[in-house]
Amino acid sequence: MKNILFDFISKYVSLTEDEMNAIGSADIFRSAKKGTILLKEGQRSKDSYFVLKGCIRTYYLLDSEEKTTAFYTEMEALTPPCVVNKTPSDYYVSCVEDTILTVSNSDMEAEINSKFPKFEIMCRMLSEELLAKHRIDFDAFKTSSPEQRYLNLLQSRPDLIQRVPQHQLASYLGIKPQSLSRLRARILEKKS
């Protein structure tokens, strides 16, 4: 399991034995059952997550309705805005499936960053890369219709459509579950 983490890190910096041991022995590996809530609205958490196996999602509770805005699967990292901004969280984070992940505190990260400048560099690279990717996703979302978004998702993350409930997918696509059903029926009809 730890190998997944090291593989991920090695995309950015190369670690020495010592550094790998320091990370490997840190108490950050967790496993959580499907449905477990990792972060609640209003909490002041300092925890970041990195998914080793499984899937977690972020969602808002607006008008007592869940609005899912993101999914994180294998090899994806999430640092919630409340950690960066030191504010109470606006949203929930929960497990879509049984999930194995790392949970790391921002104080701990700050300490590691000051001890190993290598991590500072990795964090910068990772944030920059995520920001760039995120911008592209946002742009694609803005410039396309719900139907196009669904077709894009089918291309880019086909696994999500299988492993995630439709109503969560729908709000991820910015529409209601009924619209997603209809839209899927429409696409099937076009194909034939």
Q: Which spans of this chain sit near its own copies (rule: CB under 8 A)? A: 58, 60, 62, 67, 69-70, 79-81, 84-85, 90-91, 117, 120-121, 123-124, 127-139, 141-143, 171-172, 174
Give least dist CB 58 to its own copies, A: 8
Q: What DSSP line would sit under 165-188, residue for residue?
A: -HHHHHHHTTS-HHHHHHHHHHHH
When binding is defined by CB under 7 A, the residue of 176, 187, 191, 192 that contacts DNA is 176
87: contact with DNA by CB under 7 A: no
- State how far the Cα of 41 lies from the Cα of 127, in Å rounded to an integer: 24
3-class DSSP assignment, residue 132: helix
- Residue closer to DNA, measured from CB, 127 or 166: 166
Q: Residue 76, Cβ neighbours under 10 Å: how many?
A: 16
**Contact assessment for residue 77 and residue 47, using Cβ atoms and an 8 Å cutoff:** no
3-class DSSP assignment, residue 42: coil
Give least dist CB 85 to DNA, A: 29
- Residue closer to DNA, measured from CB, 30 or 67: 67
- State how far the Cα of 151 lies from the Cα of 29, in Å rounded to an integer: 35
- Residue closer to its own copies, measured from CB, 8 or 141: 141
Task: Name which of DNA, its own copies, none residue 120 binds, using a CB cut-off of 5 to 8 Å depending on partner kind.
Answer: its own copies
Task: Name which of its own copies, DNA, none residue 166 binds, using a CB cut-off of 5 to 8 Å depending on partner kind.
Answer: DNA
